[in-house]
Each structure stands twice: as structure tokens, then as C-alpha cells.
Structure 1
Amino acid sequence: MSTQTSSRSSGSGRSLWRRYLDFPLIWKLAIGLVAGAVAGLAIGEPITVIAPLGELFLRLLKMLVMPLIIVTLIAGVSSVTPSALGRIGFKAFVFYLATSAFAITIGLGLALSVAPGTGLSMPGDEVEGATPPPVSETLLNIVPENPFEALVDGNVLAVMFAAIVAGLALTFMRGSDDDRVRELGDFLRRGVDGAVELVFLVIKGVLQYAPIGVFALIAVVMGETGVDSIVPLAKLTGVVYGGILLQILVYTAIMLLFRIGIRRFYAAAKDPMLTGFVTRSSSGTLPVSSRAAEKLGVREGVYSFTLPLGATVNMDGTAIYVGAATVFVANISGVELTLTQLATVVLVGVLASIGTAGVPGAGLIMLTMTVSQTGLSMAPVALVAGIDALLDMARTACNVTGDLVATRIIAQTEPGMLRDPDAPEPHDAAHALDGTGTPPDGGRGGDGGGSTAAAT
């Protein structure tokens, strides 16, 4: 009898855990945010006893930064075959990186003008921002004397550079005419893929703990500051959404320059935009984006390359978020960002966009990279974490829109790559990426980017 009772109890426990895992993360974060705010306001300062739960969440985020940079950058860069590094690849890279740099500048500019976070302070946040080095030293330090030392020191830019170089080398190994070198390259790539899956599994676990961390962080902040933090968070949300609307207007202006039909474009793009908003995954939206590209008349020779690449390196919405949120963190920390720090934010944001994982919430880790590199305190990131899901939806919709804009423009500039959109395609549109429904990188789901992951 006792054995049966124990069995039922154990089954019930597993059932509750499974229900928690299956419950959408966005709702868990929302519940954690609201519950934390209510608990903090109701209990007041004694709620600070749960502060270690929030600190644990911050430590988990920091723990993921370097492994995520290394594996996703190597995987993302090495996924581009040497034969694809031609005209289409060059145009795509230039477009994606240029618009990302412009987008993060929009986020910085709007945030500096609105000044979200001004007047708010984090309880117990006495960490002063480190004095940033000169611009010349920052640029020179991108190339590490010792990549392992850069890894230990947490030098984000240097680790990124080393990972990009390794990814490029792996690309040429896999395309080598020497059978031995090519086989070794393929073997190393499988190892990188395994490392990516391992890191993503850890991220998945951290995100399951995120609602608890957000609850504790918000509760402590509300218990100490009261309702003073609500207005700054609302300002940050307004800045991010306003910046994304401005970025979409920029896309529209660019398409007008190329005489692309705006109405037809957005009629085709509305499905991936909505899918990206709901799923918060650029890479998970790839099949929908591919069908939209076909509706626009883009041939597979272009979109099968530019869309997966865009899911990896084109993070315009995330760049706006990182720029605005970095100013938010600086304002709460009482630090006035210098020109060197602003330039560092742009540089880190653009480089980080290459390797941002294609999973919901990865933009928060990208923000962690930027805040760490600029020498700001990590504590205010807790506030941003509470509304990250809300911001993630808009930035993902912006990301997938930018992917389609680049794809349509590149197709127009390449002979024979743009057909009459009203003419039927000879192949089944369901096989949207490589003729089998599988993206070139293996089709793993997941915003912010894509690397080999199928992350905001």
C-alpha cells in the first residue's frame, strides 16, 4: 500500500515538473515579473532575504557568455562554404552588418535622448564602472596575444576574434582538395555541432530557472525602491519598440530606392513577421520566411543562402535592444558613457550579432556581453531580464523583416535570381530551404541568431 502511494506521489511530482517545462517560457517570465513586483511592494525591504536566488540567475548568465561566443561563432562562420563566399555572400554580409551597426546606433541615440533609468538605483549596487581604455587600445586588443588568457580575463572582443579566425580556418579545411584535411574538418565540425547542442541544452536549463531568478530580482528591487522602477522600464520598452518601428521605416526607404513594391513585400512578409513575433525565433521562422521569399519571386539560389545567414548575423532588432538597454544600465549605475564606450557598444553589438544563438532570450546574454565589455555593473541587467520576453518579440519580428529585405534586394541585383512572383515555381514550396525542407545548417530551431541553431 505504501509502495503504491509512493509511486503515485512520484508520478504526480514528475507530472507537475513536466507541466512546468511544457508551460510557455514567456508566460513563466511574465508571471515571475508580476508576482515579484507584487511580492516586493507588499512585503517591502524584508523581501531582500531572497536576493541570493536572483544573484544565482546573474551568475548563470555570466557562466554562459564565453562558451556561447566560442561555439556559436565557430559554427556560424564555418557553415558558410568557400564556394558561397562570392558576390551573394559579400553583399549579404555587408548589408547585414551595416544595418546592424545602424540599428544599434538608433537604439543608443533614442535611449540617450529619452534617458531611461535615470534617477533609479539598484539596492546594494556599489560597483563602479571600470575606466575604459583609449579607442586605439580597444581596437588593438581585439587581436589577443594569448586567446586562452583572453578567455580567462573575459575579454569578449578578443575571444570573438579568435573564434571567427577558427571558424574561417574550419571553413577552408572542409573545402580542401586534400581528402585528409577535408575529413578532419568535417570531424571537427561535428564536434563543434555537438558543443553547440551542449551549450544550448545548458541555456535551456538556465531559462527554466529564469522565472525564479526574475521573481527574486524584481521582488528585491521593488521591495527597496517601490514603484520607482516601473516608469524607467516603461521608458525602455518604448525606446526599443520605437527604435524597431524606425528601423522598419529605414527598410522601407531602402526598398523604395531599389523600386521594390512595398505593398507586395509586406503582404508576403507579414506571415514571417507575425511568426517571429510569436515564436521569438528567427531561425525557427526560416520555413515561413522561405515561403515568403518565393512569393516575392526570389529564387532558391539566393534565399537558401541569405535567409539562414541572416538568421545568424542579421540582428537589427536585437542591436536596437542592446544599445537602448546598455544606456539604461549605465543610467541606473550613474555612469555617463564616454565616446569610447559608445563605440565599444556598437562594435561588440555588431560582432556579437554574428554569433547570437537562435533561441529565445539569447539577446539577454548578448546584452551581458556588452555590459561586461564596457565595464558597467551587471546588477541593473536584472531589471531588463524581467521584461526581456516582451522586448524579444518585437526585436525578432524586426530581425526576420531585415532578412527578407536583404534577400529581395540581393536577388534583384543578381542576374536570373528574380522571377515573376505571379508565375508558379516548378518545385514544391514546402521544400523551402534545400529541397528537403531542411536548412543548410541542419535545421535546428531556435533568436537572436542562428549559427547552426535553428535565438533574440
Structure 2
Amino acid sequence: MKNLVLKWNKVSLVKRILLGIVVGIILALTIPDSASGIIIFGDLFVGALKAVAPILVFFLVMHAISKHKKGNKTNMKSIIVLYAVGTLLAGLAGVIASFLFPVTLSLTSSAEDLTPPSGILEVIETLLYNIVDNPVNALINANYIGILVWAILLGIALRSASDSTKNVLESFSNAISTVVKWVINLAPLGIMGLVYAAIVSSGLSALLDYGKLLAVLLGCMIFVALVINPLIVFINIRKNPYPLVFTCLKESGITAFFTRSSAANIPVNMKLSERLNLDKNTYSLSIPLGATINMAGAAVTISVLTLAAVHTLNIEVDIFTAVILIVLSAISASGASGVAGGSLLLIPLACSLFGISNDVAMQVVAVGFIIGVLQDSCETALNSSTDVLFTATAEFAKKRKEGVEIATDPGKVV
């Protein structure tokens, strides 16, 4: 048995995950009535990721800040700029695609039990309250903004601590990282359960009525992933961007697609950043921050679904309003929570720009939940994989400016 486990672990994680996907599809088609026994694998996997992610972020960031010495520069400014530019361009892509391929909706569904934010001020207010959240409460509720703030503050306070104290922090960080590796090794089983659950509970029949809307949404996300993001990477590193892009999509995007949670995918991205030999002091902060504010997929969702409502109601849109929508969708996307469906509740905020009532906007949100089995999965895959992509891009760009040779094919380091 031990030899069998060792051989299994030597197989590429991506290949094991693909096997899990195939097995999940086969089981869903052959024994759809055995739901509870198989779905539990997916629930346990996502639960384990969500459980370990907050404490992982807390200790890694606190340890990295406490060990940071004056004069040691990180790439956080560059990464934040990349996050902002990527999200804005994604919003632009969604707006342009919506004008090129206008979509109308049949607004008959309701979503009365959902409560969207009433305006951008409420989004900012929620963000500020998350910043000053109780640290224990932030860990329990996976409030990553609060976790980051407390970890940074404690890390700064511990910079003057003794080496023995810092060694204890390092030991905790290493121990939690080891637990993360154990959890990620269970990904094939977990994703098998998630695939099985998606096919058995939702199926694909519900998506056929929204084929054109899905085509525009997913087409935009694919365009961002394979055209806009590579262009951003190329401008920064002046090397062929696609090996790195495909590595991030393959190693991070696949798991994010099935977990549908940027927060749950933080441990996966941390592990990938380590395998890409990135600076731990940087990625331990940029990855959890990206899971909170780097939301290119969410910007696409907000802009496309909002303009679908606009076209349905025959509302005229001028260029100035379109530009405001691009900026608003990017800002709103950055306020979306890193959980499944987090971007949909911000659609009414964007709809209010065009005077669309909350009742109509919430029907659009309901449509979003209907197609969410694909829309939200692709959105999260784009969001989460881009966190690693831009973190790596900033580091490679820094090395290029310093005259350090960077790998022509960085994907080969994985």
C-alpha cells in the first residue's frame, strides 16, 4: 500500500486531477443516485481548503513582515498596479463585447431573498469595517482584509522581537504549509466529488436557454486570459508570456474552476508560487490580497450582465456612461467577496447607473445564479490564476530591469 501511495504521489498533480474529473463524470452518468457518498469528497476538500487558508495567510504574512529588513524591496506596488490594470481592461473587454454582441434576457425569475449593496459607499463602508474587524472573528469568518491588516500590524510589531520568537513563527508557518501540501494532495478525490455534484444536481440542460449570454461571458473571460493578460505579461517581461500563462491556468485555474472560491484556492496559489521560485516575502502577501481585490472575471460578469439588462430594456448608452461603467465594474469587482457568486450581488449597483430598478436588477442576479455552474467557475479560474500570474510577472520584470536573465520558458520550472 505504501509503495502504491508513493507511486501515486509521483504522478503529476494535474494528471491526477484530470483523472478525478473523468472519474467524477463517469460516476455521475452511471450512478447518479449515490450522491451523498460521493459528493462528500468534494465538500470535505473545499471545507479543508477554506479551513486552512485563513490561518495560513495569517502566519505567512506575519512571519514575512517580521523578518523583513529595511532595504529589502518587494514588488507589491508593481503587483497592485498590475491587479488594477488587469481588472480595468477586463471590464473594458466586457463592455466592448456587450456592444458587439448585444444580449437580451427574459426577466421572469426572482431573487427576493438576496440583499445587494445599495451603493458604492456601502461597499467602501463594508471594506472599512472588515479592516477593523476583531482578529479572531476575521479568522473564523475568513475575512481576508481583516486578516491581512492584523497580520501586517503584528508582523511590524514583531520586527523587534528576539530571533527565538521569529523562529517559532517560522516553525508555525512551515507546519501549516505542510498541512496545505497534505490537503492539496487530496485534490483529485475532492474534484471528483465536485464534478459529480455539479452534473447530478445542476446538469447542463438549464444552461441551454442562456447560450448566447454564456458565449459572451465566457468568450470575454477567455479573451482576457489568452490575449489581454499575456499582453500585460509581455510588456513587463519582454519574453514569450504563454508558457507562464498556461502554467498558471493549468496549476491554479483548474482547482479554482471546481472550488469556485478564490479564498479556497489561496493554498493552491501559495504552493504554485513556491514551485515557481517566487519571493516568499512577496507572494505571501500578494496572493491573499489578490484573492480579495484582483477580480478580472468579476469585472467581466458585472459589465456583461448589466449591459444585458440595459439592452433588454432598450436603454441608450453613451460613451461617457460606458466609461463610468468600466471603472465602476472594476471598483465593484474589487469589493466582491472571494466566494462562489460574490460578484453577482454587485450587479444591482452597476444597474443603478442606468436607472434600472432593484427589482429588475435582482432578476438579472437570478439569471446569473442559473448560469453560475459555468459562469462562476470560469470567473474564479480567471481571477485566481491571475493572482499568481501577476505576482510572477512583477518578479520577472524586476529581474529583467536588474539585468538578471529570466527563463524563456518559466513554465518548465513547475
Q: Give the TM-score normalised by structure 1.
A: 0.54
Indicate yes or no: 2:88 matched with 1:105.
yes
Structure 1, unaligned runs of 5 or more: 1-20, 40-46, 291-301, 353-364, 423-428, 433-444, 446-456
Q: Give the TM-score normalised by structure 2.
A: 0.59
Shift of 1:278: 3.4
- Relative to structure 1, is the Cα distance of residues 70 and 405 closer, same or farther in structure 2, using a 3 angstrom cutoff? closer
2:230 aligns with 248
Indicate yes or no: 2:320 matched with 1:348.
no
- Relative to structure 1, is the Cα distance of residues 107 and 317 closer, same or farther in structure 2, using a 3 angstrom cutoff? farther
Larger helix proportion, structure 1 or 2?
2
Q: How does 1:54-453 map onto structure 2 within 5 Å?
A: 67=51, 70-84=54-68, 89-90=73-74, 92-115=75-98, 118-120=103-105, 126-127=111-112, 129-141=114-126, 142-144=128-130, 147=134, 159-172=143-156, 175-178=159-162, 181-182=165-166, 185-186=169-170, 189=173, 193=177, 206-219=190-203, 222=205, 227-244=208-225, 245-253=227-235, 255=236, 262=238, 265-266=239-240, 270-280=242-252, 285-286=272-273, 289-290=276-277, 313=289, 319-327=295-303, 342=329, 345-348=332-335, 366-371=339-344, 380-381=368-369, 383-386=371-374, 401-413=389-401, 417-419=402-404
Residues 103 and 317 of structure 1 are in contact (CA less than 8 Å); yes or no, is this contact kept in structure 2? no
Shift of 1:246: 1.9
Superposed CA deviations along residues 219-248 of structure 1, whole A, max 9, x for unmatched, are 2x62x56x2223322222210121231232
Q: What amino acid maps onto 1:280 in structure 2? A: S
Structure number, greater radius of gyration:
1
- Relative to structure 1, is the Cα distance of residues 382 and 59 closer, same or farther in structure 2, using a 3 angstrom cutoff? farther
Residues 96 and 406 of structure 1 are in contact (CA less than 8 Å); yes or no, is this contact kept in structure 2? yes
- Relative to structure 1, is the Cα distance of residues 345 and 89 closer, same or farther in structure 2, using a 3 angstrom cutoff? farther
- Relative to structure 1, is the Cα distance of residues 127 and 88 closer, same or farther in structure 2, using a 3 angstrom cutoff? farther
User: Alignment partner of 1:166: what SS?
Assistant: helix
CA distance in 2, matches of 1:390, 1:202: 22
Residues 412 and 418 of structure 1 are in contact (CA less than 8 Å); yes or no, is this contact kept in structure 2? yes
- Relative to structure 1, is the Cα distance of residues 133 and 76 closer, same or farther in structure 2, using a 3 angstrom cutoff? farther
Shift of 1:168: 1.8
Shift of 1:202: 8.8
Q: What amino acid maps onto 1:147 in structure 2? A: N
The number of residue pairs the alignment matches comes to 351
Residues 32 and 211 of structure 1 are in contact (CA less than 8 Å); yes or no, is this contact kept in structure 2? yes
CA distance in 2, matches of 1:118, 1:58: 34
- Relative to structure 1, is the Cα distance of residues 180 and 84 closer, same or farther in structure 2, using a 3 angstrom cutoff? closer
2:9 aligns with none
Superposed CA deviations along residues 25-77 of structure 1, whole A, max 9, x for unmatched, are 457658978999x99xxxxxxx9x99999x99999899789746633431442
Structure 2, unaligned runs of 5 or more: 1-12, 254-268, 314-321, 349-361
2:316 aligns with none
CA distance in 2, matches of 1:378, 1:388: 13
